[in-house]
């Protein structure tokens, strides 16, 4: 399979859900993309979590489409966000570690595409060095990020809302990134302590060294509660942004709103087996791969619709393009519009992910240099190199990925292994993964726990 066959040139399409022929809806004047950092889908009440962590997004999902199983191509901030904005896998756009830049700065992005259609384009991010120009992503005429490693989402949202109000009446594509669910979990009042039980200890992150003792049940409970506090805070901020988008959209032309996340977070699932908790980026289990995706445009997208998936974050760009109804650009993903409308995929969907490259010390611990995964909605294969070690899980019967079935189901293992090998061959890795990250980025990454 060639890389060219994986690329798909999107063409304009009318979106109609009634089954009868209808006129194409007007192009949305307001397109709002909100990305929540480090937000696993199963900790949103929108996705069935017992705690009420996402009342705002629950309302948005009730008015639009919620995609049930969405997978990040890489559980790291810079690579995943670049895939959202370009529709390309990290192996092609070239960012396979935080702090690196795209291999080709002329790559089309959602912003450059929207700007070509006459939209004002702006990005407001909450983590240093994620502003598009530092990733060499084109198309944003306005961008803002913190001068320090991170800033609370309230400041990011205030800046975004001020810019949006200043451009009232103009077509706009706005990307807002909220870093808050990322460690350290310290939501501001009144969200701080919302889910902590009386007597819970103050949460203290103790790293992920192999020799440390596992977190105690009370520590896990406290850390998880603080993580949920942060999600609730980010949900509230997202609700404010969406309310403003509704206010700014002209009558009869509701905004297109898309909410997703770059990756999830390991809480305590891998602590006793791997001494790995409250982190992401070094393993490819579902808790770091599965993220939310909600799309809403009243009167255009069906209200309360749930799309099973699996889908990938590389599908976000082509889906937005088709919903806007203008010609798009070459991507690895595919639009979800036909599936939302009740179409049946021609064949089983395979979704791919890879892990960031690890320094030598980490390679020794995890016994791998690179790691990849492929899943089809039921079965999932993880491949670790060198030595081509595989793990196979039945996600339907074993969602916690506790029972490796690679030996028990050799035919399934072989089929998914072949698909993964073909995918890796078809997408030759680009970008200089050995390039040094600038010192100022290293300092920011270290402050956020990315660099030891």
pLDDT of residue 433: 53
pLDDT range class, residue 4, cuts 50, 70, 90: very low
Domain residue extents for the chain: 3-340, 351-447
Q: DSSP letter string over 244-257?
A: HHHHHSPTT-PPEE
- Average model confidence (pLDDT) across the chain: 88
Q: What is the architecture, at CATH level 2, of domain 351-447?
A: 2-Layer Sandwich (3.30)
pLDDT of residue 417: 97
- Could you tell me if 330 and 9 are in contact, meaning their C-beta atoms sit under 8 angstroms apart? yes
Mean pLDDT of 43-62: 98
d(CA 449, CA 452): 7
Mean pLDDT of 236-265: 97
pLDDT of residue 305: 97
Whether domain 3-340 has CATH 3.40.720.10: the reply is yes
d(CA 23, CA 202): 57
**20: pLDDT strictly greater than 80:** no
Mean pLDDT of 391-417: 97
Residue showing tokens 């993880």: 382
Alpha-helix residue ranges (DSSP H) falling in 24-152: 55-62, 77-86, 90-93, 110-116, 132-135
Does residue 316 or residue 272 have the better pLDDT?
316
The predicted-structure confidence for 419-452, as pLDDT tens digits, reads as follows: 999 999 998 777 555 455 566 554 554 555 554 4
- Could you tell me if 259 and 238 are in contact, meaning their C-beta atoms sit under 8 angstroms apart? yes
At 192, is the secondary structure helix, strand, or coil?
Answer: coil
pLDDT range class, residue 72, cuts 50, 70, 90: very high
**372: pLDDT strictly greater than 50:** yes
């Amino acid at each position: 399979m060639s890389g060219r066959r994986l690329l798909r040139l999107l063409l304009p399409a009318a979106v109609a859900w009634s089954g009868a022929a209808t006129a194409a809806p007007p192009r949305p004047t307001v397109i709002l993309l909100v990305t929540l950092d480090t937000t696993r889908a199963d900790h949103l009440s929108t996705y069935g979590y017992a705690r009420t962590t996402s009342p705002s997004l629950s309302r948005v999902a009730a008015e639009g489409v919620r995609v049930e199983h969405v997978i990040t191509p890489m559980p790291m901030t810079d690579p995943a966000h670049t895939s959202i904005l370009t529709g390309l896998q990290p192996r092609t756009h070239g960012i396979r570690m935080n702090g690196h830049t795209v291999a080709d700065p002329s790559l089309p992005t959602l912003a450059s595409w929207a700007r070509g259609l006459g939209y004002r384009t702006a990005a407001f991010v909450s983590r240093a060095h994620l502003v598009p120009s530092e990733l060499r992503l084109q198309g944003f005429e306005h961008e803002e990020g913190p001068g320090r490693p991170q800033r609370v989402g309230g400041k990011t949202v205030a800046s975004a809302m001020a810019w949006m109000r200043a451009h009232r009446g103009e077509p706009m594509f706005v990307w807002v990134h909220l870093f808050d669910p990322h460690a350290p979990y310290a939501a501001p009042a009144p969200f701080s302590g919302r889910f902590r039980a009386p007597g819970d200890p103050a949460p203290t992150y103790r790293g992920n060294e192999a020799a440390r003792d596992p977190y105690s049940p009370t520590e896990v409970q406290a850390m998880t509660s603080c993580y949920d506090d942060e999600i609730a805070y980010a949900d509230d901020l997202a609700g404010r942004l969406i309310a403003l988008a509704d206010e700014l959209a002209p009558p009869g032309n509701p905004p297109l709103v898309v909410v997703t996340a770059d990756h999830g977070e390991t809480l305590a699932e891998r602590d006793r087996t791997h001494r790995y908790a409250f982190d992401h980026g070094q393993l490819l289990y579902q808790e770091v791969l599965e993220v939310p995706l909600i799309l809403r445009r009243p009167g255009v997208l069906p209200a309360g619709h749930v799309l099973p998936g699996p889908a990938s974050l590389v599908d976000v760009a082509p889906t937005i393009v088709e919903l806007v109804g203008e010609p798009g650009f070459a991507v690895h993903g595919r639009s979800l519009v036909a599936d939302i409308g009740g179409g049946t995929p021609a064949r089983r969907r395979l979704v791919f992910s890879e892990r960031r490259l690890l320094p030598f010390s980490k390679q020794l611990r995890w016994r791998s240099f690179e790691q990849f995964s492929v899943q089809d909605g039921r079965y999932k294969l993880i491949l670790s190199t060198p030595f081509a070690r595989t793990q196979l899980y039945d996600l339907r019967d074993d969602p916690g990925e506790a029972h490796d079935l690679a030996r028990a189901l050799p035919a399934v293992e072989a089929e998914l292994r072949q698909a993964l090998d073909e995918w890796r061959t078809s997408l030759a890795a680009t970008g200089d993964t050995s390039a040094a990250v600038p010192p100022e980025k290293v300092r920011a990454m270290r402050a956020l726990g990315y660099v030891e």
